[in-house]
Chains A and B, each alone.
Chain A
Amino acid sequence: MSVYRRAFLYVTRKKGKTGLLLLILTILMTLILMGTAINRTTAQASARLREELGGYFKIMPDYRKMSINQRVDQALVDRVMEINGIKAYNALDVHYLTVGELSLKPGRFTMEGDSKAQMARFLGNTSSELHEYFYLKLFSLAEGRHIEPGDRGKALLSKTIAEQNGLKVGDVFSARMTEETAGAETPGPDFYFDVIGIYDEGYQEGTNQNTPECDITSNFIFIDAAASQAIKEQEYGSNSLAFRGGAVFFVKDPKKLDDIVADVEDLEGMDWESLRLTANNSAYQSCMEPLERLEGMTSLLVGVIVIIGVVLLSLLLMLWERDRIHEAGVLMSFGISKWNILWQHFLECMAVFLPAFCLALVISMSLSGWIGGWLYDGTVAREDDRQVQEYGMANEPISLKALEEQPAFEVKLSLSGAALSGGVGVLLIGICVGAAFLVIVRRKPRELLTIME
């Protein structure tokens, strides 16, 4: 009789033991599957956050110093970008220009009848997508595209201003430097901008009647680096390529932000008396801490379940194995090897494990979402009211709250997660069957027969 037939007969005839083992394995595998699903979902959410909420650092002239010998220019930006681990940068400038032909969202100056009511804030960017308003999803692009490196004379307007002035993507508007905007005695030439995109300014920070027009977020106009350079030339009369607002560098993995910052500080020829470097991964830290806590908790939970499972299952199988010394002795008296008997016992457990695993899959698929959501609410979402005091990316007049939007957290059992749990289950059974079988394997056939007599 083959070992498979013997295993089949045992499992089908010993219904009580099979039922109990099925129950234990189903519970054990359900817990392992749920723990794995939650753990892996948390790990994936963490990985996604690391990409989405990547840390950044900013280099800007230290305006607190009396004399500044080095400024942030394209050459400096290029050198920093050569360091490994930096994925993008955004060079920043801020200008105030009069937009005579546009009607802005009214504020303090309109109320006061001041001509500064026509003054808008122009934000120079290498890539507007990387400006903090967009990067932190406070603004979103509604139409057109973002400003990209290489653009010239392009602008992004708010939906409010576009609608108020009947502007759409492809239209052109002009702005000029005036006495109000830059102290210029004679108005400068007109700067013309193509509207390449319209943004939705969902975020309105502390706007009221007393807010100057240029501080109202709807009146912000994002322009490209070349246009910003042209304005600077007009403003300062020089051909400086320096970025007055400095440059923000985005790292691929916020975990490595400190190392990258250290590399930047070690760059030769950097005058840190004139420059100021500030690093920030507070958004990442703020979101990651609870996620990492949940990940750690589920890892610990799975570990504890596996250990308890091994102990319980080993004890149960050892108890049953003592009843089978008789059977093992008889089989060995017919020349069946110990390893063949061990294989039979493993097969028996596997025959119960397979339906238990399928049952556990069904149960865990329906429960893991609920349990995961409950754990998530208890650990991650509790951090809702957290505040990130200062992002400091563009020195804008705002005090940002951390992202209100929670990272997507939907617990789903993946194929690889199920396979991993199944593998753990098989390994667990192998260990338990092996441990229980020690009672037989260390005895001679004659001793087994003596015991049974």
Chain B
Amino acid sequence: MTALEVKDVFYWYTEGRPVLQGINLSFEKGKMYVILGPSGCGKTTLLSLLGGLDVPNKGQILSEGRELSEIGLERYRHERVSFVFQNYNLIDYMTPEENVALTTKQEPLSTLLQLGLTPEEAKRNVLKLSGGQQQRVAIARALASQAPVILADEPTGNLDRATAQEITAILKSAAKEYHRCVIVVTHSNEVAEEADVVIRLEAISK
């Protein structure tokens, strides 16, 4: 079933100078999508629209057949989508366990252990973890939310190559094993190689 659908979406910051123009896309659960493109082509803007952080100037975005405005953006973000950011964006006064508990009422430790953190690390302050560990916590937080769609914005941008490969593998397993729709915005061809579908955005000529 289509998890997310983009229909003829336009977005502009200044009228007459669109960033996104007539975008039509469809995303399914169980697949990992990668959106590639040059800087300024609107990758992150598209991700924000898919995540309900902003609304298109024209066109529709549907979640399982329902328009986001109909569901309500807050409810949509709470129930149907979760984010993984380049800078991890963990709450700095919480432990990994508590960060994961932000998105779920279930016991958060098991998700963290599945992603390779030790019980001791799960109770440490997040700022005392390495970059790779922090990104694992961010992915665990997204997975624990039970949202069908995971949106990742440059998730490997701040990581070394080996760690980036591990994170990519985790995201792929999120799509395959957890049957989520994973949409990754990246510049990395290595990540793109692991994707089921690669979407290339072109910058609109001014």
- What distance in Å separates the Cβ of B45 from its nearest Cβ neighbour in chain A? 9
**Chain B residue with the shortest CB-CB distance to A332:** B77
Using A337-B74, A445-B53, A446-B54 as known contacts, say yes or no to A331 and B102 having CB atoms under 8 A apart: yes
A13 and B76: CB pair below 8 A?
A: no
**Contact partners of B83 in chain A: CB under 8 A:** 333-334
Closest-by-CB residue of B relative to A445 is B53
Tell me if B163 is interfacial: C-beta within 8 Å of chain A: no
Asked if A335 and B51 make an inter-chain contact with CB atoms under 8 angstroms apart, the answer reads no
Which A residues are CB-close (under 8 A) to B102? 1, 6, 331, 334
**Would you call B79 and A444 a contact (CB within 8 A)?**
no
A-side interface size class: 20 to 34
Say yes or no for A64: interface residue by CB 8 A criterion. no
Given A1-B102, A330-B89, A335:B94 Cβ within 8 A: no
Q: Does B173 contact A (CB under 8 A)?
A: no
Q: Are A13 and B93 in contact (CB under 8 A)?
A: yes
* Nearest chain A residue, comparing its CB with the CB of B72: A335
Nearest to A338 among chain B residues (CB) is B74
Query: Among residues 405 to 453 in chain A, which have CB atoms less than 8 Å away from a CB atom of chain B?
Result: 444-446, 449, 452-453
List residues of B (101-126) whose CB comes within 8 Å of A's CBs. Answer: 101-103
Complex Cα–Cα for A445 and B52 (A): 9
Q: Does B168 contact A (CB under 8 A)?
A: no
| A10 located at the interface, meaning its Cβ lies under 8 Å from any Cβ of chain B in the complex | yes
In the bound assembly, the distance between CA atoms of A452 and B74 in angstroms comes to 20
Tally of contacts, chain A with chain B, CB under 8 A: 59
User: Measured between alpha carbons, how far is A394 from B21 in the docked complex, in Å?
Assistant: 100
CB-CB under 8 A from A326, the residues of chain B are 89
B89 touching A335, Cβ below 8 Å: no
Is B200 located at the chain interface by the 8 A CB criterion?
no
Over the window 321-341 of chain A, the binary record of Cβ atoms lying under 8 Å from chain B Cβ atoms (1 yes, 0 no) is 000001101111111110000
> How many chain B residues touch A (Cβ–Cβ < 8 Å)?
26
A326 to B53, CA, bound (A): 14
- Nearest chain B residue, comparing its CB with the CB of A444: B54
Partner of A10 from B76, B77, B85, B93 at Cβ < 8 Å: B93
- Residue numbers in A under 8 Å from B53 (CB-CB): 332-333, 444-446, 449
Query: Pick the contact of B98 from A9, A331, A332, A446 — CB < 8 Å?
Result: A9
A330 to B87, CA, bound (A): 11
B156 adjacent to chain A (CB < 8 Å): no
Contact with A along B80-95 (1 / 0, CB 8 A): 0011011101111110
Q: Do B91 and A14 have beta carbons less than 8 Å apart?
A: no
Shortest Cβ gap from B134 to chain A (Å): 13
B186 within 8 A of A: no
Chain B residues lying within 8 Å of A334, measured Cβ to Cβ, are 77-78, 82-83, 102-103, 145
Cβ distance A6 to chain B, nearest Cβ, rounded Å: 8
Query: A9 touching B78 by the CB < 8 A rule?
Result: no
A332 to B91, CA, bound (A): 12
Q: Are B87 and A453 in contact (CB under 8 A)?
A: yes
Bound complex: CA of A453 vs CA of B185, how far in Å?
15
- Residues of the B chain whose Cβ atoms lie less than 8 Å from the Cβ of A336: 74, 78
Asked whether A335 and B79 contact (CB < 8 A) given A1-B102, A13-B93, A330-B91, the answer is yes
Whole-angstrom CA separation of A337 from B53 in the bound complex:
12
User: Bound complex: CA of A26 vs CA of B63, how far in Å?
Assistant: 51
Interface status of B48 (Cβ within 8 A of chain A): yes
Contact B76 A327 (CB under 8 A): no
Which of chain B's residues have a CB closer than 8 A to the CB of A10?
A: 93
Does B7 reach chain A (CB closer than 8 Å)? no
* B175: min CB distance to chain A, Å: 20
- Which A residues are in CB contact (< 8 Å) with B17? none
Assuming A333-B53, A446-B54, is B89 touching A9 (CB within 8 A)? no
Which residues does chain B contribute within 8 Å of A333, judged by CB atoms?
51, 53, 77, 83, 89
The listed residue (B51, B75, B82, B93) touching A9 by CB distance below 8 A is B93
Which residue of chain A is the closest to B78 with respect to CB atoms? A335
| A332 / chain B contacts, CB cutoff of 8 Å | 53, 77
Q: How far is the CA of A333 from the CA of B103 in the complex (A)?
A: 10
B74 shortest CB reach to chain A, Å:
5
Contact call B77/A335, Cβ cutoff below 8 A: yes
Determine the chain A residues whose CB is within 8 A of the CB of B77 once the complex forms.
332-335, 445
In the complex formed, the residue of B with least CB distance to A11 is B93
Give Cα A330 to B75, complex, Å: 15
Query: Does B51 contact A14, Cβ atoms closer than 8 Å?
Result: no
With A1-B102, A334-B102 in contact, is A446–B89 under 8 Å at CB?
no
Contact partners of B54 in chain A: CB under 8 A = 444-446
* Contact call A9/B94, Cβ cutoff below 8 A: yes
Please name the residue on chain A nearest to B54 by beta carbon: A446
Instruction: Give the docked Cα–Cα distance between A384 and B3 (Å).
Output: 87
Q: Give bound CA distance, A94 to B51, whole Å.
A: 99
> Would you give the 0/1 interface string for B45-85, flagging 1 where the beta carbon is closer than 8 Å to chain A?
00010010110000000000000000000111111001101
Give chain B nearest CB distance to A170 CB in angstroms: 83
**Which residues of A sit under 8 angstroms from B145, Cβ to Cβ?**
334
- Give the residues in chain A near B103, CB-CB below 8 Å: 334
Measured CB to CB, the nearest residue on chain A to B83 is A333
Check if B89 sits within 8 Å of A452, measured CB to CB: yes
- Give Cα A337 to B101, complex, Å: 17
Chain A residues closer than 8 Å to B98, beta-carbon distance:
1, 9
Give A337 to B75 CA distance when docked, in angstroms: 9
| CB neighbors of A among B168-201 (8 A) | none
Return the 10 tightest CB-CB contacts between A and B, nearest first.
A335-B78, A335-B77, A13-B93, A446-B53, A446-B54, A445-B53, A330-B89, A446-B48, A1-B101, A333-B83
Which residues of B are at the interface with A, using a C-beta cutoff of 8 A? 48, 51, 53-54, 74-79, 82-83, 85-87, 89-94, 98, 101-103, 145
6 A-B pairs (CB sep. < 8 Å):
A9-B94, A13-B94, A333-B51, A445-B53, A449-B85, A453-B87
Task: List chain A positions with a Cβ less than 8 A from chain B.
Answer: 1, 6, 9-10, 13-14, 326-327, 329-337, 444-446, 449, 452-453
Other 10 A-B pairs with CB < 8 A, given A329-B89, A332-B53, A335-B74: A13-B93, A326-B89, A330-B89, A334-B78, A335-B76, A335-B79, A337-B74, A444-B54, A446-B54, A449-B48
